[in-house]
């Protein structure tokens, strides 16, 4: 059965796409929506379907299966999400959004609602592009070294493309084709981008621009685009055994599409690449064939995200920011003077570990805006350590954030596996590989066993961890929820056998003590003096989970409020209420919250500590960062923990 298409917008590109639907094998035009009902009716009279005086009416039409978004750039994100929420598949004109963070948000909305989504780079659906891929894979000109891509036209004015708030300018309009094609040719991610451009002072958008890009595989590219200079359209590919020219890379027709091959030691020749249907009809059919898969192989989500990230870098290098980006501007690394964090060194972890470690349990696909805000804010505060675990279910979205942010190599990524009932070498092998795949990582900087099983000999686990370390899948490892007795046994085995041992331990350590286990099989050392003495003697770093006692030191906990049964079960006690009272008293003197004082208590232990924090809002995160400015004396630490009467 043919796919029923709805179109949002009745302008020039919408009319071209309607012609593509008419020439396709899989689609039929059902409806078009415009803010002007008369314009929609006129469009429908020319191209077919029903005309609606609003975009929402198109989404409400039950005969519409998929929607083509042909609106100004700044509306793409909002209407992609609305389409997803309405259960409609999405083909959105490029750019999918104003930046990479917004693009990820759009994809996550489509993933959450189970609909297809593709950014409408129609050239990806033409046989010429397929042929180019194959020629490069076959190595007909050898290994690619340099790519040149141009796309420019001359116009006295470009209307909506000259509006900053709407995502205007040549880079996003036609430079995006250059970045998309060079990524396809290079076959790797851009890691260095340097741009130059003419920014019009009246419109605050670029009229012409150039970028030099270096990719992870050392391919370099020179890209030029313009809305005022007739650069034309051409791609040149230089390799170690020849070169290629693609004269019409982005708008190949049914006839005349060609690839020019110039081998170093053979005669030049031209490969003609005809197409059975119009370019936009091919795009319609590419979507129609891929609806069940959720994304199209011709233009997968990963390509859009990488392309958006390159565009963000290009714009950032020339100082072009869109007013409409709001809080979701491109992610930037913090300047040194902006950092407020302190750090500890952990054996075999090459990067300094921030003493606050960001937990990711709340970062689920449905919470992507929050994820971006928390992760961006943490990095801006100087945070370097991100805590993940197989059982959290958040690895894919955290991995995508790492991919689009470009922060992977700057951060200490902590993984955890072997949860309750799964502390065995075979489960370790399985879960570690699954986690790396889900997060698109080659290795974890630090990997922790999430639980312990005293029935499993420590030697079996140490041997397995060393195998993974030798294979490069983990750099260092430790244990979460292990007793000090088992930690001693494990490291003694490692030393006796010339192997690597645990470099960190991750129990619960907080100012408030637990009435009973928070979760089965967990270990808390907060009220175990003999365990704390061992950590002091050994100076083994502790990564404390529930370092803020699940919000006990905030307004969330009150003796008369028993609405949170887990908070009551684990943390409500007379001793803890006194600890909270003292934290509030000291906080009043220091100009801090009780929660900040409790977190500082964890950081001022007589052994190396880092505190895992799990903020649910940006405001909670900011409160936690405030603990970093506090300095506690040994007497205050003891007084807070009820060990003496006066601070």
Q: What is the pLDDT of residue 15?
A: 97
Residues 131 and 266 in one domain: yes
CATH number at residue 26: 3.40.50.720
Q: Which pair of structure tokens corresponds to residue 162?
A: 């000259």
Q: Cα(363)–Cα(413) distance, rounded to whole angstroms? A: 15
- Backbone φ/ψ region at 242: left (φ over 0), alpha (ψ -120 to 50), beta: left
CB 77 within 8 A of CB 106: yes
Of the pLDDT bands very low, low, confident and very high (cuts 50, 70, 90), residue 11 is very high
Q: Which pair of structure tokens corresponds to residue 302?
A: 């990963």
Q: Which pair of structure tokens corresponds to residue 431?
A: 């879960």
In a domain, 290, yes or no: no
Residues 110 and 150 in one domain: no
Residues 101 and 153 in one domain: no
- 387 SS3 class: strand
468 alpha-carbon distance from chain centroid: 26
CATH number at residue 229: 3.30.360.10
Per-residue pLDDT reduced to its tens digit, 387-429: 999 999 889 889 878 877 778 999 999 999 999 999 999 999 9
Q: Which pair of structure tokens corresponds to residue 298?
A: 């011709």
Largest CA distance in the chain: 92
Q: Which pair of structure tokens corresponds to residue 601?
A: 């208590």
In a domain, 332, yes or no: no
Q: Cα(596)–Cα(273) distance, rounded to whole angstroms? A: 66
CB 241 within 8 A of CB 141: yes
- Among residues 119, 151, 174, the one where a domain terminates is 119
Assess whether pLDDT exceeds 70 at residue 256.
no
Assess whether pLDDT exceeds 50 at residue 483.
yes
DSSP states of 547-580:
TTGGGTTSTT-BTTB---HHHHHHH--HHHHHHH
Work out the average pLDDT over 23-29: 97
CB 550 within 8 A of CB 519: no
The percentage of residues in the chain with a pLDDT greater than 90, rounded to a whole number, is 80
Q: Which residues contact 460 (CB under 8 A, 6 or more apart)?
A: 424, 425
Q: How many domains does the chain have?
A: 3
Work out the average pLDDT over 609-629: 88
The phi, psi pair for 97, rounded to 5°, reads: -155, 180
Among candidates 177, 207, 122, which has minimal Cα distance to 307?
177
Per-residue pLDDT reduced to its tens digit, 350-379: 999 999 999 999 887 655 556 777 888 788
Q: Which pair of structure tokens corresponds to residue 264?
A: 């170093």
CB 5 within 8 A of CB 67: yes
**305 or 283, higher pLDDT:** 283
Residues 79 and 166 in one domain: no
- Among residues 119, 154, 181, the one where a domain terminates is 119
150 alpha-carbon distance from chain centroid: 29
CATH number at residue 484: 3.20.20.100
Residues 380 and 246 in one domain: no
Q: Cα(616)–Cα(626) distance, rounded to whole angstroms? A: 16
CB 10 within 8 A of CB 29: no
DSSP states of 410-449:
GSEEEEEE--TT--SHHHHHHHHHHHHHHHT-S-EEEEEE
Q: Cα(150)–Cα(245) distance, rounded to whole angstroms? A: 12
Q: What is the pLDDT of residue 261?
A: 97
Q: Cα(477)–Cα(425) distance, rounded to whole angstroms? A: 14
Q: Cα(121)–Cα(176) distance, rounded to whole angstroms? A: 9
Residues 109 and 142 in one domain: no
CB 144 within 8 A of CB 136: yes
Q: What is the pLDDT of residue 367?
A: 55
Residues 408 and 320 in one domain: no
Assess whether pLDDT exceeds 90 at residue 168.
yes
In a domain, 414, yes or no: yes
Torsion 135-137-143-144 (CA) sign: positive
Work out the average pLDDT over 282-310: 93
Work out the average pLDDT over 312-335: 68
Among candidates 225, 139, 231, 140, which has minimal Cα distance to 182?
225
Of the pLDDT bands very low, low, confident and very high (cuts 50, 70, 90), residue 313 is confident
CA dihedral 399, 400, 401, 406 (to 10 degrees): 90
Q: What is the pLDDT of residue 380?
A: 76
Residues 321 and 410 in one domain: no
Residue-wise over 73-89: b if at least 16 C-beta within 10 A, else e?
A: bbbbbebbbbbbebebb
Per-residue pLDDT reduced to its tens digit, 65-102: 999 999 999 999 999 999 999 999 999 999 999 988 78
CB 463 within 8 A of CB 493: no
Assess whether pLDDT exceeds 80 at residue 569.
yes
In a domain, 283, yes or no: no
Assess whether pLDDT exceeds 70 at residue 203.
yes
Question: DSSP H helical segments within 572-633, as ranges?
Answer: 574-590, 594-603, 618-625
Q: What is the pLDDT of residue 103?
A: 85
Residues 541 and 601 in one domain: yes
DSSP states of 254-315:
SS--EEEEEESSS--EEEE---SS-HHHHHHHHHHHHGGGSSBTTB-HHHHHHHHHHHHHHH
Assess whether pLDDT exceeds 50 at residue 337.
no
Assess whether pLDDT exceeds 80 at residue 618.
no
Q: Which residues contact 339 (CB under 8 A, 6 or more apart)?
A: 381, 382
Q: What is the pLDDT of residue 431?
A: 97
Of the pLDDT bands very low, low, confident and very high (cuts 50, 70, 90), residue 191 is confident
Q: Cα(102)–Cα(368) distance, rounded to whole angstroms? A: 10
The label of the residue with tokens 């593709």 reads 118
In a domain, 413, yes or no: yes
Per-residue pLDDT reduced to its tens digit, 534-551: 999 999 999 999 999 999
Assess whether pLDDT exceeds 70 at residue 332.
no
- Give the number of C-alpha atoms closer than 13 A to the C-alpha of residue 508, restricted to the C-beta side: 24
Residues 257 and 110 in one domain: no
Per-residue pLDDT reduced to its tens digit, 34-75: 999 999 999 999 999 999 999 999 999 999 999 999 999 999
Q: What is the pLDDT of residue 617?
A: 74
Residues 101 and 187 in one domain: no
Q: 3-state secondary structure string, 470-512?
A: HCCCEEEEEEECCCHHHHHHHHHHHHHCCCCCCCCEECECCCC
In a domain, 288, yes or no: no
Residues 183 and 101 in one domain: no
- Backbone φ/ψ region at 211: left (φ over 0), alpha (ψ -120 to 50), beta: beta
In a domain, 369, yes or no: yes
Q: What is the mean pLDDT of the chain?
A: 92
In a domain, 334, yes or no: no
Neighbours of 523 (CB within 10 A): 22
- 153 SS3 class: strand
Torsion 626-627-633-635 (CA) sign: positive
Range of the domain at 273: 124-278+303-327
């Amino acid at each position: 059965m043919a796919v029923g298409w709805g179109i949002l917008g009745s302008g020039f590109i919408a009319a071209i796409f309607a012609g593509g639907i008419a020439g396709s094998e899989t689609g039929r035009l059902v409806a078009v929506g415009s803010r002007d009902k008369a314009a929609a009716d006129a469009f429908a009279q020319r191209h077919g379907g029903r005309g609606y005086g609003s975009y929402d009416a198109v989404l409400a039409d039950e005969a519409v299966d998929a929607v083509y978004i042909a609106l100004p750039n700044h509306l793409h994100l909002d209407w992609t999400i609305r389409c997803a929420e309405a259960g409609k598949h999405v083909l959105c004109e490029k750019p999918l959004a104003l930046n990479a963070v917004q693009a990820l948000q759009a994809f996550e909305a489509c993933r959450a609602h189970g609909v297809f989504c593709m950014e409408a780079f129609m050239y990806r659906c033409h046989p010429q592009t397929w042929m180019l891929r194959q020629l490069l894979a076959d190595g007909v000109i050898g290994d690619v070294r340099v790519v040149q891509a141009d796309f420019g036209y001359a116009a006295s004015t470009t209307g909506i493309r000259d509006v900053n708030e709407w995502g205007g300018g040549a880079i996003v309009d036609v430079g995006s084709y250059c970045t998309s094609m060079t990524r396809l040719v290079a076959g790797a991610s851009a890691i260095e981008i340097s741009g130059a451009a003419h920014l019009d002072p009246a419109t605050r958008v670029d009229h012409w621009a150039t970028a030099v890009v270096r990719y992870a595989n050392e391919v370099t590219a020179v890209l030029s685009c313009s809305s005022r200079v007739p650069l034309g359209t051409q791609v040149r590919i230089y390799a170690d055994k020849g070169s290629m020219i693609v004269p019409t890379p982005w708008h190949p027709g049914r006839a005349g599409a060609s690839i020019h091959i110039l081998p170093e030691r053979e005669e030049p020749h031209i490969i003609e690449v005809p197409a059975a249907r119009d370019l936009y009809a091919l795009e319609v059919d590419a979507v129609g064939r891929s609806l069940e898969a959720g994304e199209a192989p011709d233009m997968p989500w990963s390509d859009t995200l990488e392309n958006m990230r390159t565009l963000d870098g290009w714009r950032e290098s020339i100082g072009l920011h869109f007013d409409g980006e709001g809080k979701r501007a491109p992610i930037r690394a913090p300047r040194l003077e902006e950092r407020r964090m302190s750090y500890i060194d952990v054996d075999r972890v090459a990067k300094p570990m921030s003493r606050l470690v960001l937990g990711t349990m709340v970062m689920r696909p449905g919470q992507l805006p929050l994820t971006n805000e928390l992760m961006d804010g943490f990095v801006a505060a100087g945070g370097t350590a991100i805590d993940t675990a197989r059982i959290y279910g958040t690895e894919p979205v955290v991995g995508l954030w790492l991919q689009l942010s470009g922060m992977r190599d700057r951060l200490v990524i902590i993984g955890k596996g072997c949860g309750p009932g799964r502390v065995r070498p075979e489960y370790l092998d399985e879960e570690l590989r699954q986690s790396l795949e889900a997060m698109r990582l080659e290795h974890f900087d630090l990997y922790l066993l999430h639980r312990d099983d005293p029935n499993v000999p420590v030697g079996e686990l140490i041997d397995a961890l060393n195998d993974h370390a030798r294979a490069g899948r983990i750099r260092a490892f430790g244990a979460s929820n292990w007793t000090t007795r088992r930690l001693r046994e494990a490291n003694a085995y490692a030393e006796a056998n010339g192997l690597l041992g645990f470099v960190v331990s991750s129990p619960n350590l907080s100012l408030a003590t637990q009435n009973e286990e928070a979760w089965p099989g967990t270990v808390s050392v907060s009220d175990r003096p003999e365990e704390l003495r061992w950590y002091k003697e050994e100076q083994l770093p502790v990564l404390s989970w529930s370092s803020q006692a699940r919000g006990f030191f905030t307004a969330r906990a009150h003796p008369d409020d028993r609405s949170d049964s887990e908070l009551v079960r684990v943390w409500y006690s007379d001793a803890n209420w006194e600890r909270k009272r003292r934290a509030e008293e000291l906080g009043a003197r220091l100009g801090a919250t009780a929660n900040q004082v409790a977190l500082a208590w964890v950081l001022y232990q007589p052994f190396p500590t880092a505190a895992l924090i799990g903020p649910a809002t940006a405001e909670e995160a900011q409160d936690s960062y405030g603990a970093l400015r506090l300095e506690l004396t040994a007497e205050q630490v003891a007084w807070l923990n009820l060990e003496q009467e006066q601070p």
